[in-house]
Amino acid sequence: MADDEQVAIDIFTGKKLEDLSPSTHNMDVPNVRRQEYQLLDITDDGFLNLMKEDGTPKDDVKLPPGEVGEKIERLFRTEEKDVNVVVLTAMGEEVAMDAKEVAH
């Protein structure tokens, strides 16, 4: 029986992952959802105050470390732009992955 090598990139960390498994085994794949939310504020404890399309608040996504977090802060605080935050959800995790200036 032959083994297949799978190579994947973790969507949350960017880490490369490799695995060998028999070619007859089924593979589970995550259901990934991408959603944009309007950024209302960044809290002192590092959470994003977001607004869903229906106007309800979403306050459980942390400001991510690194380039994405810096971009969100720069657009929102320094440049004082209206910002939408792109959030990926998979396997019970949610991470802010990008930010976009809202065109008027």
- Domains in the chain: ranges and CATH: 32-101 (2.40.50.140)
Give the pTM: 0.81
pLDDT band at 1 (very low <50, low <70, confident <90, very high): low
Interval 50-104: pLDDT, tens: 999 999 999 999 999 999 999 999 999 999 999 999 999 999 999 999 999 998 7
pLDDT band at 11 (very low <50, low <70, confident <90, very high): confident
In Å, how far are 81, 82, 93 from 104, measured between CA atoms?
Answer: 11, 9, 31
SS3 content of the chain, % helix, strand, coil (to 5): 10, 50, 40
CA angle 14, 61, 95 (to 5 degrees): 15
